[in-house]
Chains A and B, each alone.
Chain A
Amino acid sequence: MIPLSLSEAQTPTVTTQAPDLDYGLLSPLLVVFAVGVLGVLVEAFVSPQRRRITQLVLALLGIGAAFVLTVVQVGALPAEGAGLTVAFATLVVDRPALFFQGVILVLALVSLLLIAEDRDGEGAFTAQAAAVPGSEEERAHILAGTRHTEVYPLVMFAVLGMQLFTAANDFLTMFIALEVMSLPLYLLCGLARRRRLFSQEAALKYFILGAFSSAFFLFGIAMVYGYAGSVNFADINRAGSEGGLIEGGGPLLLAGIALVGVGLLFKVGTVPFHNWKPDVYQGAPTPVTALMASGTLVAAFGALLRVFYVAFGASVEQWRPMLWVVAILTMVVAAVIAVTQRDIKRLLAYSSVVHAGFILTAVVAASADGLAGAMFYLAAYGFTTVGAFAVVTLVRNPEGGAEAGDLTQWAGLGRTSPLLAASLGLFLLAFAGIPLTSGFIGKFAVFEAAVAAGATPLVVVGVLSSAVTAFFYVRIIVLMFFAEPAENAPRVLRPGALTGTVVGVGVAATLLLGVFPGPVLDNLVPQPEETTAAEGTVPEALFMR
Chain B
Amino acid sequence: MDPMNYIVLAAIVFTIGAVGVLVRRNAIIVFMCVELMLNACNLAFVAFSRMHGGIEGQVIAFFVMVVAAAEVVVGLAIIMQIFRTRRSASIDDANLLKN
Interface residues of A (CB under 8 A from B): 129-130, 132-133, 172, 175-176, 179, 183, 186-187, 190, 196-198, 200-205, 207-208, 211-212, 215-216, 218-219, 221-223, 225-226, 229-231, 245-246, 278-279, 282-283, 342, 346
CB distance from B40 to the nearest CB of A (A): 7
Residue of A nearest to B77 (CB): A187
- Which of A172, A211, A246, A342 is the one whose CB lies under 8 Å from B51? A246
> In the complex, which residues of chain B have a beta carbon less than 8 angstroms from the beta carbon of A218?
37-38, 41, 64
Query: A176 — which chain B residues lie within 8 A by C-beta?
Result: 63, 67
Complex contacts, A172 vs chain B, CB 8 Å: 59-60, 63
Q: Is A187 touching B27 in the complex (CB atoms < 8 A)?
A: no
Once A204-B82, A246-B51 are accepted as A-B contacts, the answer to whether A179 and B38 lie under 8 Å apart by CB is no
Known: A172-B63, A186-B74, A197-B96. A130 touches B54 (CB 8 A): no
Rounded to whole angstroms, the CA-CA distance of A200 and B95 in the bound complex is: 11
Size bracket, chain B contacts: 35 or more
- Asked if residues B67 and A231 are in contact (CB atoms below 8 Å), the reply is no
From A203, A216, A225, give the contact of B56 (CB < 8 A).
Answer: A225
Chain A residues whose C-beta falls within 8 Å of the C-beta of B17 in the assembled complex: 215
Using CB atoms and an 8 Å cutoff, list the residues of chain B in contact with chain A: 7, 10, 14, 17-18, 21, 27, 30-31, 34, 37-38, 40-41, 44-45, 48, 51-52, 54, 56-57, 59-60, 63-64, 67, 70-71, 74-75, 77-79, 81-82, 84-86, 91, 94-97, 99
Residues in A neighbouring B57, C-beta threshold 8 A: 222, 225
Contacts of B70 in A (CB 8 A): 179, 183
Q: Is the CB of A225 within 8 A of B81?
A: no
B residues in contact with A183, CB < 8 Å: 70-71, 74
Q: Is the CB of B41 within 8 A of A225?
A: no
Chain B contacts of A279 at CB under 8 A? Answer: 97
Q: In the assembly, what is the distance between CA of A144 and CA of B40, in Å?
A: 48
Least Cβ–Cβ distance between B80 and chain A, in angstroms: 9
- CA A186 – CA B73 in complex, angstroms? 11
Contacts of B94 in A (CB 8 A): 200-201, 204-205
Partner of B85 from A186, A197, A222 at Cβ < 8 Å: A197
Checking B60, B79, B99 against A204 with a beta-carbon cut-off of 8 angstroms, the contacting residue is B79
Check B60–A225 contact: CB distance below 8 A: yes
In this complex, what residue of A is CB-closest to B46?
A222
A132 to B74, CA, bound (A): 18
